[in-house]
């Protein structure tokens, strides 16, 4: 009986540590959809996409590289707006995903690592890219 309880305790610890490790994929997806104006379905699709990439990376022996690259990138991700150069009176005047701002200009949202920080995770990106 003692051995059985020990086994369950060890399995419980493994489950706790396994779910707490790695990058916060749900957090990344929530922030991305907050930037773009998505909903729960968009967040779920984003998480599924990341999970698929992660599963593939783990399947080819590159799970650590994937996790390290995403964890490095995570704090660098930001939401930004860029003017498209088009004028507008409503968002309907703007093309695909852009919104009309209060100045009458279309702005496109982007979520990613700003150009000035692109090199911050270069070593991690290179290590992961060797796995493809």
pLDDT digits (tens, 9 = 90+) for 92-121: 999 877 889 999 999 998 999 998 888 999
Q: How many residues does the chain have?
A: 132
Average the pLDDT over 11-28 and give the result. Answer: 57
Number of other residues whose CB lies within 10 A of the CB of residue 97: 14
Phi-psi region of 22 (alpha: psi -120 to 50; beta: other; left: phi over 0): left
User: Distance between CA 126 and CA 108 in Å, rounded?
Assistant: 29
Q: Percent of the chain having pLDDT more than 70?
A: 83
47-74 pLDDT, tens digit each: 999 999 999 999 999 999 999 999 999 9
Q: What is the pLDDT of residue 36?
A: 86
């Amino acid at each position: 009986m003692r051995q059985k309880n020990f086994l369950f305790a060890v399995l419980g610890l493994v489950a706790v540590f396994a779910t707490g490790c790695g990058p916060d994929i749900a957090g990344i997806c929530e922030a991305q959809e907050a930037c773009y104006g998505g909903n729960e379905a968009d967040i779920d699709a984003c998480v599924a996409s990341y999970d698929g990439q992660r599963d593939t990376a783990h399947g080819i022996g590159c799970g650590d590289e994937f996790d390290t690259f995403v964890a490095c990138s995570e704090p660098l991700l930001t939401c930004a707006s860029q003017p498209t150069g088009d004028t507008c009176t409503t968002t309907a005047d703007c093309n695909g995903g852009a919104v009309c701002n209060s100045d009458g200009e279309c702005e496109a949202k982007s979520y990613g690592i700003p150009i000035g920080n692109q090199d911050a995770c270069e070593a991690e990106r290179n290590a992961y890219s060797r796995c493809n």
